[in-house]
Amino acid sequence: MMYGGVFHLGVHKATLAEAGVRAPARVKVTIELDDEPLPTDTVPDDLAQGLKRSASASAAWKVLRPSVKREAVKSVISAKKPETRASRIEKVIASLSIRR
C-alpha cells in the first residue's frame, strides 16, 4: 500500500524473525515473479474424472471463480485417507451439480 508517497509492504512476523529484522526497520526488498503453479492450481486426475462423469458438474466447474476451484482442489488433496478423498470428490461433484 502507498502512504504519503511511500510504498509499504506488510510482512509476516515469522518472516521478520527469520531475516533477523525487527520493526520499525527499513529494508530493501526485491520482488521476483514466481511462475510455478500452486498445488491447488492443478485439478487432480480423480477429481477430473468425477467432473467428466457429470455434465452439470463439469459445466458448473468451468464458470467457477479460480479461488473457489482452488478451495475444492485443496479439500481433495488434503485428505489423508483414500476414502476421505473419494468422499470429498463426491461432495464437490454433488455441490456443483445443484449449482445449475
Residue 9: closest CA among 32, 28, 22: 28
The count of domains in the chain is 1
pLDDT of residue 63: 95
CA dihedral for 16, 32, 44, 61, sign (positive or negative) = positive
pLDDT of residue 100: 54
Q: Cβ(51)–Cβ(45) under 8 Å? A: no
Phi first, then psi, for residue 96 (nearest 5°) are -75, -35
Average pLDDT over residues 43-72: 96
Share of the chain above pLDDT 70, in %: 98
Mean of the per-residue pLDDT values of the chain: 91
Q: Which domain holds residue 35?
A: 2-97
